[in-house]
Each structure stands twice: as structure tokens, then as C-alpha cells.
Amino acid sequence: MSTVRIEPLLHHYRRQKPSHRLPPSKHPLKLSSSFTAFPKKLVVSNGRSFCNFQPPTLSVRAASTDTATVEATEFADAFYKETFPLKRTEVVEGKMIVKLDNGKDAKNWVLTVGCNLPGKWVLHWGVNYVDDVGSEWDQPPSEMRPAGSVSIKDYAIETPLKESLSPVGGDTSHEVKIDVTPNSAIAAINFVLKDEETGAWYQHRGRDFKVPFVGYLQDDDNVVGATRALGAWSGTLGKLSNVFVKAETSNSKDQESSSESRDPQQKTMRLEGFYEELPIAKEIAVNHSATVSVRKCPETTKNLLYLETDLPDHAVVHWGVCRDDAKRWEIPAAPHPPETVVFKDKALRTRLQQREDGNGCSGLFTLEEGLAGFLFVFKLNETMWLNCVGNDFYIPLLSSNNSIAVQNEVQSEDAQVPDRSRETNFTAYTDGIINEIRNLVSDISSEKSQRKRSKEAQETILQEIEKLAAEAYSIFRTTVPTLPEEIIAETEKVKVAPAKICSGTGTGFEILCQGFNWESSKSGRWYEELKSKAAELSSLGFTVIWFPPPTDSVSPQGYMPRDLYNMNSRYGNMDELKETVKTFHDAGLKVLGDAVLNHRCAEYQNQNGVWNIFGGRLNWDERAVVADDPHFQGRGNKSSGDSFHAAPNIDHSQDFVRKDIREWLCWLRDDIGYDGWRLDFVRGFWGGYVKDYMDASEPYFAVGEYWDSLSYTYGEMDHNQDAHRQRIVDWINATNGTCGAFDVTTKGILHAALERCEYWRLSDEKGKPPGVLGWWPSRAVTFIENHDTGSTQGHWRFPNKKEMQGYAYILTHPGTPTVFYDHIFSHYQSEIAALISLRNRNKLNCRSRVKITKAERDVYAAIIDEKVAIKIGPGHYEPASGPQNWNKSLEGRDYKVWEAS
């Protein structure tokens, strides 16, 4: 068996060659959690790079004796005592079962997939039809789909596993049953198992599971039940053709080289049932804590730091000290605790001693005077480290009169402040932030610094300033008392500085229009048609337009790119594209290019007849394809994300690939005139590579399509979708915030709320918006429909006749709203235009503040920035009078919007 292991996104940006997957191992198959990077506090980092990060600040005093051992009771009067939560992982082993047997009707069969480990399991599956040479994955017919199944694009569905009535091995288990009809001409069912709680995927020997129903598929090494159940359906298929594993990359050459038919006289075999058990291991989180106490020895004036934890007694503390704010690790002077060794002349490693009561372990550290701080991380084994939100633990030791405070890492300028289990001195906390900002400003503004520092280094400092300022403001928002009306009026006179442009947010006031649909490629002159709409879209208030994929492509819509430098597509030629971009620029709109970076279609076959040799200016070979793509025999490294089954998945860990993509994006920006990017299928590769591409191409605005299924229980959407939005936030965090993401969570929750009249879903457990816009609004790009979900595809169409409720929500709330082309050029145009005008008039933006005032069965209401009130749903709501009066501005079917006078 082999392992597919998904590692935390948080630490990948510290590696030279990041990868989400480890090499295959033989026993058993493991699932590794997606470690939470936001908004939770601590993570486990499986890497060894942990120094030189911006650490949390602990302002402390120290005191006590200079002895080698100490009891915790001696620190009862310590000036400082702080307890930190820790989290590690532990492997739990179980079984996965796959079986095929007769259903209630002896003519039909039932495929059962089950698992006896705890979790929220989902089967991601599709079918392979006989004689289908295009792809191994297609959506199954509707009669095969169990209740609660959800479509994923146009090639797969996801079905939640339900609690089993016949547990595996006596344990509680979950399973899903799929009915298989003999005359359906299905050659095989392909699937992977997914744990929704962690986002981890389980495959078979590094490939998708395959349950074949025809004999010629039995040679695949990822087949389940190969020795007993592989044959043809007796008397149902007749003549069978070869099934070729290749994608839509195939062109006319495919047909010439495509295969011989199977022998018409091929002997059919009777299908037999089978039952297989496969070992499966899942890493679960185990909570621990560590307590740090500090005293100062009155006799020697040295600092004495006592560390105790309930971690296992083999835990090692990797530690050092620093002498200034640069926080560079160095080895302190002796004495050192027992069982301490030097690590590469940069740090010390101390094995903690088991406590006398047997509960955990502890260590005493004697530190000389004049040190700025104490830095440490825990090491449990060669691959597992515990740190503080991706940073080293850091305790300043410069002063003995500072108040106790903790500064946690801020991952975004508008991220919510994590809940704290202790009372915090906010005055000291914000004073510390202000001092750090002053130091950074002084540093970057000095002439000497400007001469020495590169532009990139100065930009990094500016980003740190922005983060610190946002953290201080976030604390202010949570602690400021209600002010009298006259003070509020006075503060409104203060001028707000212009928003800083960032590739993840633009200015914050963007309103995006998707400038095409699924059928736009059919005319052959879409650029010309779109150009004629530029003035109208500008007058409606849009600021950014998203263009379709511009390159030569196997598929007419452009999402199967071939020669990346060939701009002759089904939408028009290169000259027409340039002229259309210029027209939109003249109309005052920015233009986003649709960049497909995850996969690319080959133009030639290798010596084995597999399509993985690329043509054109970027003439890559098999080294550019990931090694674990089961269909295209890549010779690169393992994939850093999910597989796109229809085309070769590109290996972004290759230096030459990243260099070529950076140059291509810069060429698109400079020669074509694009201002930013919409990135397709970003689940397929690590977000850290996106940061590399964004840093190189410096887009005005960028958004990624991180498409993931929401959480369902027995076919009903769960109220809590934190795991879903966490995965999107993790990806944004991996890009270092340089790219936003489409808020798929918000779209899905709007579907359930409006379709089922369950508007209570639009408030999470903390009274915040339940989508990405509730956690990281400046990086949330909201939408209700696009070319995949709507248009003629209709894979996940918004509830009928409720579209304007959806637009009333996203065009008044934070995040960057997106309007679909089909809706703006429809009978909805006047209503959408009125909402855009209201948004611009009140200067609502991606960081606007939401106060939810009502979230009940039939009505949702909120006030945004104290300027706009909105309600959607058939229920009644009127904003209460207060410091401002409310005037109704807009009203439509089941929605109303008010503006403050």
C-alpha cells in the first residue's frame, strides 16, 4: 500500500522544494490532517526550518535562584506565568472496506465503500464508459447517484458516507452504496476517499481506486478486487474496444494511432463479487499545553526561566537566545540544563526531564543579563515540531517592568483576532505594536537603509507595518466603548488615507464582471463583441473585467491550453485581444486574464505513446509533468495538490517550469496589457508557487479558483462550514495573501438559505458571515454564478428567481463582488446597476464591517459600515432608528436596502 499525505500549507513556504505528498510507503496508508493556519492559534510543523520568523511577543520580568533544579511551587510568586496551547498528531489505525455483491434484485450489483475511522468521509468518484477514449473520469448516470451526491465540475461527484448498519470489525463505521446496472456500459468506477474534517485524500498506491467491470482493465495496478471480479458483463457488451488512458489533449493524431478493436470473439466472463479490507491510518490532533514561568535571581541578577509541559517525556526543546530585535539565534553562556547538546553552533537542544509526579516533563534555563529574548520550539521526533502559529516561541527579557502581553502572528490585515483564554493588557499590547511600527518606519525611511535595502526588502517591511496597524485597529474595534454622537460626528471628519494597492485586494473598492459565458467561444469573434460593451460596463460602475482564457486550446472554451504563446483562440486572434484590452483601459476598467497554470495539453507522444511532450515556445517534456499523475507518465516530483484528470498536471517544483511561467505572465502583462489574473483550478498546486508568480508579474488584482465541496450530513448541508472556508483560507495564506479566492463557501450557503428558506444559515456561531468573507473579507471574491455553475452548463445553478437576493447580499457586503455576464445583460440589469451605484455611493469595500441584526428562518438582515442596511428573505425587517435615520433606497423581490441619512 502507498500513502498520500497532505501536509500543512503553513510551512511550505519555508522549503526549497515544497510538496504536499510524501513518497509512497508500504504500511499502512495514512491520511494526514490539513493543519489549520487561520484563525486558530497553533500548528504542528513537520519541517525543520523554524528560525528567523516574526515571533509573538511576551513582555516579562524574571527572577529566582541559580539552582540546577527547581520545583514548580518555587515559581508561585513568579512575575510572569503564561500557558500556551499545543497540538500534536497521533496515528489511529483502522480499516477501509471495498466490496461488490448482489443487490436486492439479483440482476443488479451494489458497490460498497466503507471506513471504520472517525471523520466526515466523502467518496469522490466517477465512471469510465466502454470505448470512451477521452478520459477515465465522467459523471455517472443519475440512477447510480446515491442521495446527497453533489456534482464536481463535469467529471465527478461527491457522496457523503453514512453510518453503517453493519459495522466493520464491531466498530462504528460509515459507508456508501452505489447501484450498478449491467446494461449501463460502464467499464469501471474510479474513486478516492476524502476526509472532510481534514481535507485529506486517500488513494490506492498513489493512484485513484479502480473497480473494473470489463476484463481488459485488470492489468492496472490500482485495481481493487482484481483476482476475483474482473471480467465482462455476460452477454451485455458484445464487442469491446480498447480503453486508452488519455485526456482531451488528443487531436487528430490520436485517432490515427488509436487502437485496435478487441476480438469480437473475446470470451466473456461472469462477474463475481468480492470483499477487500485495506489498512488505513489517520492522524488525529491531540491537545497539550506548555507553561513558562520567569523570575529574576536577586543574588546574581540572572534570569531564571522554568518550562513545564504535558508533552511525552521524550520531548526536546530546541532553544537559543537573541540580543536585539533582529531575533537572531545564538547560544547563551553556561550553565546549561542537563542533557543539553549543541546543534550546528546556532542553538541548543535540551531533553526535558520527567516531572516527579509523572505528569509531563520540565526544564530550568538560567540566562545571563543583557539578553533581548529567549526563543524556542519543541521537537518530538525528526519530522514533528511544535511552534507558535508557524513562528518560534519568543519571550523578551530586556525589561522587568513591562506588562504581560502576547502578540500572535497576524496572517492578514483584516483577520479576526483569535479568542484568548486569558485577560490581556490591551494598552501594553497596542503600545508594543505602535513601538514596532515606529521602529519599522524609522528603519525603512533612513537614507542608509534605503541605499542598502532592496525594493523587495522594503516591501516586506511595509507589509509588516500594514499587518501591525491592522492588528491594532482590530483590537480597538473589539474594546472601544460606545461614543457619544457628537464624538462620532467629530471623528468622521478625519481624512482616511488612500487604500494601498495589493494584488490580493486591488484598492479594496473593485467590482468585478465576468466577461463571458460557456458559449462565448462559439461565435469566433467574442473579443469584438465584448469590445462593444466596454463603455456600457464602465457606465454601470464596474472597475474590473475578467476575460476568457486567451491561448490555443484543445477545448474551445480555453481550459485545456496547449501552446501558451499562441494567442489565436476561439474568442479571436492576438490583435483583436490587444485592441479589446486597450478599449477597456480607455473606458477606465482593469482587465484580468484567465490563466490556466495547473495543467497543459501535450502536442506529441513519448516513446510509450503517452501524450506528454509539449510543443511551441515552451517545449517541455515528461519532466514538467508530476510523477503521480496516473495517466501521463510524468518524470517530475510528486504533485503538491489535487489531480486534474483530463490533462497532464504540471510540476511547479521544477525551476525551469516556474521560470517559464513567470516569464509568460510578465509577457501577458507587458505585451497583451492584462492587469491581473484569474487562476484556474488552484487546488492542483501549492499556493506558495502562486506567490512566486504574483511577485514576478505584480498584478493589480488576482483571484484563484479554489473549488471544494461543502460539508453535508445525510444529504443536508451542515450549518457549520468552518472546515470548508478554512481550506480556502489556508490556500490564500499559502500565497502570503498575494491572491484572493472565490468565496465558494458563501455561494453554497446562499443556495441552502434561499432555496430552503433557512436564512439563519447566513450567520455563523459567532454572529459573523459564515463564508470566507466572515474570516478574511479582503481576500474573499464573492459570486453567485459563473460559466461553470450557470450558463448552458448549469452544474450548480443558483436557486431560480432568487438571483437578486444573492446580488443584494454580495453587493452590499465586504469582499470583492463578481457579477456574471449573463445576469448583467438580462432583465436584472437595472437592479444590479442600482446596487452597484449604492455600493459606490457609500464607499463600501472589501474590508467593510458587518453587523448582523437578524438571522432567522425567513429573514436575514445586516448593517454595513453603519451606512447601509439590508434584508433578504420573505420575512419582515425594518432597521431600528438610532444615531442615524434610515431611508429605503432599493426594493425588489424579497430584498430591501436602506441608506443612512
**Active-site amino acid positions:** 680, 705
DSSP state of 599: B
CB 651, CB 632: distance < 8 Å: no
Q: Tell me, what amino acid is at 777?
A: P
CB 213, CB 233: distance < 8 Å: yes
State the chain's maximal CA–CA distance in angstroms.
Answer: 97
Count CB-CB contacts under 10 A for residue 145.
17
CA atoms of 269 and 230, how far apart (whole Å): 8
**Helix, strand, or coil (residue 726):** helix
Pairing of strands 850-855, 816-820: unpaired
CA atoms of 612 and 648, how far apart (whole Å): 7
Range list of H helices, 756-827: 803-810, 821-824
Pairing of strands 121-129, 109-115: unpaired
Residue 418 grid coordinates: 483569535
**Helix, strand, or coil (residue 870):** strand
Q: Look at the alpha carbons of 490, 492, 493, 495 in this order and tell me if their dihedral is positive or negative.
A: positive
Q: Is 668 exposed, middle or buried (0-12, 13-18, 19+ CB in 10 A)?
A: buried
**Helix, strand, or coil (residue 872):** strand
Q: Look at the alpha carbons of 731, 737, 742, 745 in this order and tell me if their dihedral is positive or negative.
A: positive
CA atoms of 133 and 609, how far apart (whole Å): 14
Residue 809 grid coordinates: 447580499
Residues 6+ apart with CB under 8 A from 709: 122, 150, 152, 158, 196, 724
- The beta-carbon contacts of 863-869 under 8 Å, at least 24 apart in sequence, are 864/812, 864/813, 864/814, 866/900, 867/842, 867/843, 867/899, 867/900, 868/812, 868/838, 868/842, 868/844, 868/897, 868/898, 868/899, 868/900, 869/897, 869/898, 869/899, 869/900
Q: What spatial distance separates the first Cα and last Cα of the chain, rounded to whole Å?
A: 67
> Which candidate, 367, 350, 335, places its Cα nearest to that of 64?
367
CB 802, CB 772: distance < 8 Å: no
Strand ranges, E, within 1-142: 29-31, 44-45, 80-102, 109-115, 121-129
CB 578, CB 530: distance < 8 Å: no
**Helix, strand, or coil (residue 31):** strand
